[in-house]
Each structure stands twice: as structure tokens, then as C-alpha cells.
Amino acid sequence: MQLSQSHAETPPPPGSLGKPRPRHQGASIMNLVKTPLSLGYTLVDLLLTALAWFVFCYLLATGMHSILQGAALGHASSLVSRLLPDLHTLLAYACVAVGIDLLLLVWARYNTLRFGGLDRRKPRPPLSAAALAASFEISPDLLEALHASQGLRIHHTDAGQISKIDFTPQRQIAAGNVLRILR
């Protein structure tokens, strides 16, 4: 089934005061699904964030206090000589970060070589009317009648098979194991 592309050919309605709206050409606007989080999860997240900020501020204040206290007591040592022992730790962190980057780069190259020509996001080929009718175990004529109807009720067995179809022109509320389809 092919959908109409007429919406892409017509220009959007003008914005307020007759000015055209921005078109965002080349940009992809993505709507993210946001699931509401539970209160417990939110409280744990807030608690851990507050704790991390407290520890960061404490360590920063302690380090600044020790530097200022050393300057007030008249220690004439330079800042570089006081930070030299910490440079070894920073160098170790940098080496670990580079190692992780190299590991990710090798993994990405491997995936590119192995799966480079494959695109798992391709849509499935369109389903023919005969295949659709066969999947529901109905005749192609009945499938055409289903497509043409304005409203209908499809009754199913407990196994999911179609047991009865009621063609009803008015809208009715489905109940029980009855699935109502409106076009």
C-alpha cells in the first residue's frame, strides 16, 4: 500500500502576520517519547545528584583551603612542584581514556567491516492482497469487501481466528472478544 505524498508538495500555511514559518530544511526534528518516572526513581536520582555535587564542592573547597593555607604559612614552593605527584595520576587517567577510545574505535571499524553493507532498518516489502488474505485465512473477495466497508465488527475465536464478520454502518462499541475496525 502506497501512501499519498501530497502533503510534501503543498506549502505550509503562513505563520502569524503573514510571515512564512521556518522550514528546518536539512534538520531532523525528532519527537522523543518521554515516559513518566516513578517517585522513588526520581527521589533516588535527586539524592545521588545532590550527594555527588556535595562531594565535588567539599573536595574543591578542601583543595583550595590547603593551597591558600600553604601560601599563608609562607611555603615558597611553586604550584608545579606541589601538583607534580598528581600529574602521575592524571597521566594514568589519560592513558585509560585513550585505551577506551581505541577499543571503541576498533569495535566500530569491526562493525563497519562486518555489517557495512547490511541495513537492518529497511522496511519489509509490501504485503500483497493475496498474502494478507491468506494470513487471516479469508478469501481475497472478502478482504476487498472489508477494505470497502465503512464500519464492521470482527468476531474472533479464543485461538484468534476470525469467526464472524458483521458489516455495520453505524458506530457501535465493541464488547467482549469483539474487535471493531472503522475506516
Tell me the pLDDT tens digit for each residue of 42-101.
999 999 999 999 999 999 998 888 877 776 666 556 666 666 667 778 888 999 999 999
Within-domain flag for 25:
no
* In a shared domain, residues 134 and 169: yes
Mean pLDDT of the chain: 75
Host domain of residue 146: 129-182
Going by C-alpha positions, the residue among 133, 155, 128, 163 that lies closest to residue 145 is: 133
Total-model pTM? 0.29
Q: In the structure, what pLDDT confidence band is assigned to residue 115 with cuts at 50, 70 and 90?
A: confident
Within-domain flag for 13:
no
* In a shared domain, residues 84 and 65: no
Distance CA 90, CA 157 (A): 68
E strand or H helix at 97: helix 79-115
155, pLDDT greater than 60:
yes
Give per-residue burial for 52-64: e unless 16+ CB within 10 Å, then b: eeeeeeeeeeeee
User: What pLDDT score does 179 carry?
Assistant: 46
Identify the burial level of 35 via C-beta atoms within 10 angstroms of its C-beta, where 0-12 means exposed, 13-18 middle and 19 or more buried: exposed
Q: What is the pLDDT of residues 3-33, one digit of tens each?
A: 455 555 555 555 556 555 555 545 555 566 6
pLDDT above 70 as % of the chain: 65
